[in-house]
């Protein structure tokens, strides 16, 4: 049950798009369409941004989008804004009613 692999950091200028990858295995990301993404600002509680690979909870801006191909899921932030600067974590169902989080990615808005 190793953590899913995410890049340590990504950055972009306001208005640009950034994509965060989340690589797992055929036992977790590749096996189920239950990938979710969480945003966490420093000292704050994680917030759900995407669930079931590509669905957005109400209230989450549509510039956040998710996708999956094989064992890799991705979160794309389009039209990057200053308030998007935060840590992002993916999470996947891993079978036998367990889940696994990604290693986390720090998004910096230049």
Partner 1 sequence: EVQLVESGGGLVKPGGSLRLSCAVSGFTFSSAWMTWVRQAPGKGLEWVGRIKSKIDGGTTDYAAPVKGRFSISGDDSKNTLYLQMNSLKTEDTAVYYCATGHPDIMHFDYWGQGTLLTVSS
C-alpha span between 8 and 89 (Å, rounded): 11
Count of helices and strands (H, E) across the chain: 0, 9
110 binds partner 1 (CB under 8 A): no
Instruction: Please pick, from the candidates 7, 25, 48, 76, the single residue that binds partner 1 as defined by CB under 8 A.
Output: 48
Rounded least distance, CB 110 to partner 1, Å: 23
- DSSP assignment letter at 102: B
Rounded least distance, CB 15 to partner 1, Å: 28
103 binds partner 1 (CB under 8 A): yes
C-alpha span between 38 and 13 (Å, rounded): 21
Instruction: Please pick, from the candidates 1, 11, 17, 81, the single residue that binds partner 1 as defined by CB under 8 A.
Output: 1
65 binds partner 1 (CB under 8 A): no
Closest CA to 20 of 41, 5, 33: 5
Instruction: Please pick, from the candidates 13, 26, 45, 62, the single residue that binds partner 1 as defined by CB under 8 A.
Output: 45
Tokens 């290693």 belong to residue: 103
Tokens 């720090």 belong to residue: 106
* Footprint on this chain of partner 1 (rule: CB under 8 A): 1, 3, 34, 36, 38, 40, 45-48, 51-52, 57, 87, 89, 91, 93, 96-104
């Amino acid at each position: 049950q190793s953590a899913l692999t995410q890049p340590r950091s990504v950055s972009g200028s306001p208005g640009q798009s950034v994509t965060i990858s989340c690589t797992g295995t055929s036992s977790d990301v590749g096996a189920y369409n239950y990938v979710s993404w969480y945003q966490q600002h420093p000292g704050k509680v994680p917030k759900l941004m995407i669930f079931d690979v590509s669905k957005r909870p109400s209230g989450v801006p549509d510039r956040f989008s998710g996708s999956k191909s094989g064992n890799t899921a991705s979160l794309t932030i389009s039209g990057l804004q200053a308030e998007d600067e935060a840590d992002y974590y993916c999470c996947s169902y891993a079978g036998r009613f367990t889940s696994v989080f990604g290693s986390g990615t720090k998004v910096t808005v230049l």
